[in-house]
Amino acid sequence: MGTNLLLAAVAAFVFGVVLYLKSSKVREENGEWSGGLQWGYLLMMIGVFGVLSYFMSFTAVLLVFVVFTGIVWFVHKGRLKKDPAHQDTGHFTDYMSGFFPIILIVFVLRTFIAEPFQIPSSSMRPGLVVGDFILVNKFSYGIRTPIINNVLIPTGKVEHGDVVVFTYPENPSISYIKRAVGLPGDVVEYKNKILTINGQTVAEQPEGVQSYSENTREYGMVEIQAEAFRENIGSHSFQVLKMAGQPSFLPQGVRADFAHRENCEYAQDGSAFKCTVPEGHYFMMGDNRDNSEDSRYWGFVSDKLIVGKAFFVWMNFGNMSRIGTSIE
């Protein structure tokens, strides 16, 4: 969440407080609370949610709201039980308790079933493009404890070639999406832009040249051309893009201090690298091989950072034909 959104959240909270202070606290003839009071509570909730989201993960904020509104809901039900013939006279408990079932359903769905995610970059072209809204299966790799994210109930494991959403190791507030090319214990080598896993070269078939527009900081919108190749990893068949003249990696982009850095060897000229994936970790690469910041640069992804398996494009406002696309 950026600074502008934080300021907007603070503004919403302040405006909500003003509405709350100026509104009537007495039920209207129809039995409802005044519109000003309801909007005041709603804006204050939005403001608090936004501010907390600046400092905490979305899941953590949802959990806080589930607990808070759950307590209010139980207080509200307790008051109704004592006097079932009358309404709850407390506008706070009466109004706020209504949020509990909604927030609880959202929390359960997002935490344990599926989570939406928007593709922010071209690193997974050509399979996924900027603007794709995808669904992430949250139980593909185990039912996990909220926040801590360790596996409670095993339901499956990351497989070679899976497209995985995970928390970025360098910034827990950001989610990344890449393809898992290395599992625990694997030796991953990328030499002269040919991928090898455990000594087995990943065969690739040329499939022509593709071009796409990319919005860059330095030059604005530019047209990029790349060669497309068909690769098969595990049970997955997919296209990757490579740009002629680019090295296997950019040496200046490699972090010097990522965890288990000693497991990797890098050629100084950027022509090759080899990494042994440690236990409990994965090696991730983007399908757009020369336009992806991935495990080549910032290292391995711990299993505790795994969010889920991407499987479906449900919306792209800029290209409606992509709706319903399955993720290979």
Secondary structure class of 83 (helix, strand, coil): coil
Catalytic residue among 53, 97, 138, 178: 178
Active site residue 123: yes
Angle at 79 between CA 75 and CA 84, to 5 degrees: 140
Is there a cis peptide before residue 126, judged by omega within 30 degrees of 0? yes
- pLDDT tens per residue across span 84-95: 666 777 899 999
Report whether 186 contacts 276 (CB < 8 A). Answer: yes
Question: What is the per-residue burial (b if ≥16 Cβ within 10 Å, else e) of 58-92?
Answer: bbebbbebbebbbebbebbeebbeeeeeeebeebe
Contacts of 1 (CB under 8 A, 6+ apart): 50, 53, 54, 173
Give the residues of the chain that fall short of pLDDT 70: 1, 84-86
Q: How many CB atoms are located within 10 Å of the residue 277 CB?
A: 24
Catalytic residue among 123, 140, 175, 292: 123
Q: What is the pLDDT of residue 55?
A: 87
Amino acid present at 42: L
Extents of the domains making up the chain: 3-113, 119-322
Q: What is the pLDDT of residue 217?
A: 77
Report whether 212 contacts 224 (CB < 8 A). Answer: yes
* pTM exceeds 0.75, yes or no: yes
Q: What is the pLDDT of residue 1?
A: 56
Residue 110 has phi, psi (to 5 degrees) of: -75, -30
Active site residue 321: no
User: Given strand 301-302, what is the order of strands in its sheet?
Assistant: 114-118, 133-137, 306-315, 163-167, 175-182, 281-285, 301-302
Residue among 234, 235, 211 nearest 291 (CA):
211
Write out the H or E segment, with its range, that includes residue 223.
strand 220-233
Within 109-167, strands assigned E span 114-118, 133-137, 143-144, 151-153, 163-167
In angstroms, the CA 243 to CA 263 distance is 27
- Using only the alpha carbons of the chain, give its radius of gyration: 25
Q: What is the pLDDT of residue 29?
A: 84
Amino acid present at 33: W
Question: What is the per-residue burial (b if ≥16 Cβ within 10 Å, else e) of 18-47?
Answer: ebbeebeeeeeeeeebbeebbebbbbbbbb
Fold of 119-322: Umud Fragment, subunit A (2.10.109)
| Distances in whole angstroms, Cα of residue 171 to Cα of each of 45, 122, 129, 286 | 26, 20, 23, 18
